[in-house]
Amino acid sequence: MDRTADTATRASAIRAALARGDNEGALAAATRWRTEAPDAAEAHFLAGIGAAALGKVCNAIELIETAVTLDGHGEYHAQLARLYTLVRRDADAASSLAAAELSLPTDALGRDTMGCVYARLGDHAASLPHFAEAVRLAPANTAFRYNQAAALSFLGRQDEAEHALEGLLALAPEDARAHHLLAGLRRQTPDRNHIDRLSTVREATRTPRDRLLLGYALAKEIDDLADPRAAFAILAETNAEHRATLPYRFADDAANFDAVEACWPTIASAQVSDPSQASPIFIIGMPRTGTTLVDRILSSHPDVESAGELQAMPLAVKAAAGTRSRTVLDPETIRAAASADLSEIGRDYLARAASHASGTKPRILDKFPGNFLYVGIIARALPNATIVCLRRNPMDTILANFRNLFAVGSRYYDYSYDLLDIAAYYQRFDRMMALWREVLPGRVLELQYETLVDNQREQTARLLAHCGLDWSDACLDFHTNAAPVST
C-alpha cells in the first residue's frame, strides 16, 4: 500500500472511531500513527481531536498546532480556533480563523465550527455565511440549523430566523432550544402563537434542561397574551424544578462578596508601577437593569464600539492570581489577585478585549454586568477607565432576574432560579456598590434606569459627560443602531 492510500485508510478508521465515540481508541491509533510518521499532519490533527474529546484540551492544542505547521488545511485551523476559545485565547482564535478563511474547510462540521468561533468572538455577521454553508452541506443536521437561526436572530433578521427554526422543528419537533429561541423572536398574539405546541412538547419531556427551556418559552408566550398569573405559575414551577438540580448555595456567592470587601485595602494600597492609559468603558450592574439600553446609546456614538459582554476582566484577574481552582471567581482567586501586579491585569484585560473589537474607534465598551465585583481592580489597573452602573427598582430587578433565562450551565447565574436567592444576591450587590461609592467617590456613575427612560436627553448628556465624550445626536437615535449585542 502506498503512503497516500495508507494515510487515507488510517484517517478513515480514526475518524470512524471518533464518530462512534471511541475517543480513547482514536487517540491511541492516531498516537501510533504520528509516532511512525511524525511528518503526517493528519495524524497529529486526529490525535488532537481525540485528546480534546477526552478533555485534554491543552495537549490537543499542541498536537493541532503541530498539524498546522505541517499542513495549513482549513479544517485544522478551524478546530484549532475552537480549542483556543475553550482556553480563552481569543486573539489566537481570531488568527486561526483568518488562516482558515484562506483555505476553507470543505465539510459541514468545519464550516459550522468556524461559525461557532466567530459567534463566540462576538462577530455574528461573519458567522452567518459559515452556518449557511454548513446547513447547505448537511441539511438534516439540526444543530447546524439552530446555529444559523441564532445568528440570524442576533443580527435582527427575525423573519428569516423564524423560517429557519420552523424548518428545524419540522425535522425535530421536540428540539427545546429551537422552541425557546422561536418564542423569543417576537411578541405572540392570540391568532399567532405556539402555546398548544409548547404545552404538548413540554408535557412529553422529562430531560431537566429541555423542561427548563420549554417552561421559559411557554411562560413567555402566555405572558405575551396578557395572562401574567398563569405565566408566573409556569415560571415558578420551571425554576423550582431546575433549582432542585443545582448544588448552588448563596453562601458561596456571599463568600466572594466578603473576599472582595476584605481585599479592598490591599488593592487600594498597592503600588501600580505602569498603569495603562487606555480608557475603556465598563457598564456594570445587576442583569436586566438597562445595561443593554446604555450599551446601545453609547455605541451609537461615533467614538465608541461595543464589544458586548466580555469575560476579559474576570479572566485577566484569574490569570494574574494563578489559582488552580475550576471557578473563575472564588475567595482564593480574589485574595491572590489583590496582591498581583495590577498593571499586568490591566494590560492583559486590554489584550483580551481587543480581540472582540475592530479597533476602528477610540473607545471600547464592555457591558458584562458582573464587573461590579471588579470595580476596585479596574479603578487601580485602568485609571482612565469609565465605569457606569445601572440601577433599577429593587423589586423590578429581582423579578426581571427571575423571569429571564440566562446562560444555562453558567454558575454565575445560579442564584436566579429562586426569588429569595435573588433578593439575597441583590442585597449584597447593593452593599458592594455602597462600598465603591464610599472608597471611590465620583468614580462610578450610578444611572437610574427609570430616570433614563423618562428623560433620555438629560440623562444621556450626563452619561456622555461622565465618559468624556462630546455630545452626539446619534445617541438619541440608538434604536437605529443595527449592531448586534449580547444580553
Across 144-165, average pLDDT: 97
Q: What is the pLDDT of residue 487?
A: 53
φ, ψ of residue 306 in degrees (nearest 5):
-85, 130
* CA-based torsion, 158, 143, 12, 103: positive or negative: positive
Taking all residues of the chain, what is their mean pLDDT, rounded to a whole number?
95
The pLDDT tens digits of the residues spanning 40-96 come to: 999 999 999 999 999 999 999 999 999 999 999 999 999 999 999 999 899 999 999
The pLDDT of residue 474: 97
48 contacts: CB under 8 Å, gap ≥ 6: 59, 60, 61, 62, 63, 64, 67, 79, 83
Which amino acid belongs to residue 331? P
264 vs 462: CA distance, rounded Å: 28
Average pLDDT over residues 294-305: 98
Distance between CA 239 and CA 364 in Å, rounded?
Answer: 36
Q: Which of 315, 390, 328 is nearest to 356 (CA)?
A: 315
Question: In 320-397, which ranges are E strands?
Answer: 363-366, 386-391
Cell of 109: 462540521
pLDDT tens for each residue of 328-359 = 999 999 999 999 999 999 999 999 999 888 88
Helix (H, G, I), strand (E, B) or coil at 379: helix
CB 64 within 8 A of CB 51: no
Residue 480: pLDDT band with limits 50, 70, 90: confident
- pLDDT of res. 2: 58
Instruction: Let me know the angle formed at the C-alpha of 98 by 95 and 102, rounded to the nearest 5 degrees.
Output: 140
Q: Write the pLDDT tens digit of every residue in 439-468.
A: 999 999 999 999 999 999 999 999 999 999
Backbone angles phi, psi at 388, to 5 degrees: -125, 125
Residue 406: pLDDT band by 50, 70, 90 thresholds?
very high
- Ordered by where they begin, the domains of the chain are 250-480 (3.40.50.300)
pLDDT tens figures, 169-218: 999 999 999 999 999 999 999 999 999 999 999 999 999 999 999 999 99
What sign has the CA pseudo-torsion 296, 302, 304, 307? positive
Residues in the chain: 487
What sections of 139-290 are H helices per DSSP? 142-154, 158-171, 176-183, 195-204, 208-224, 228-243, 250-269
Distance CA 280, CA 354 (A): 11
User: In this predicted model, what pLDDT tens digit does every residue of 220-261 receive, in sequence order?
Assistant: 999 999 999 999 999 999 999 999 999 999 999 999 999 999
